Structure 1
Amino acid sequence: MRQVDTSEAVGTAVISAAERQARMELAACYRVVAHYGLQDRIYTHISVRVPDEDNAFLVNPFGVMHDEITASCLVKVDVEGNILADATGFGINPAAFVIHGAIHAARHDVHCVLHTHTPAGIAVSAQAQGLLPMSLQAAALIGDLAYHDFEGISVHLNEQERLIADLGARHVMILNNHGLLTAGRSTGEALSLMLTLELACRAQIHALSAGSTLRLVSAEAIRSTQETVASGVIGEREWTAMLRLAERIAPNFRD
Structure 2
Amino acid sequence: MSRIFITGSSAGLGLMAGQLLGEQGHQVVLHARNAARAEETRRELPRAEAVLEGDLETIQGAKDVAQRVNALGRFDAVIHNAAVGYRESHRLTADGLPHLFAINTLSAYVLTALIERPRRLVYLSSGMHHQAQANLDDILWRKRRWNGSTAYAESKLHDAMLAFAIARRWPDVLSNALEPGWVPTKMGGPGAPDDMDQAHRTQAWLAASEDPKARVTGAYFYHLKRRAPNPEAQDPALQDRLLALCAELSGIALPDM
Same fold per TM (> 0.5)?
no
- TM interval, short-chain normalised: under 0.3
TM-score, length-normalised on structure 2?
Answer: 0.26
User: Max radius of gyration: which structure?
Assistant: 1
- The higher-RCO structure (CA 8 Å, 6+ apart) is 1
TM-score, length-normalised on structure 1?
Answer: 0.27
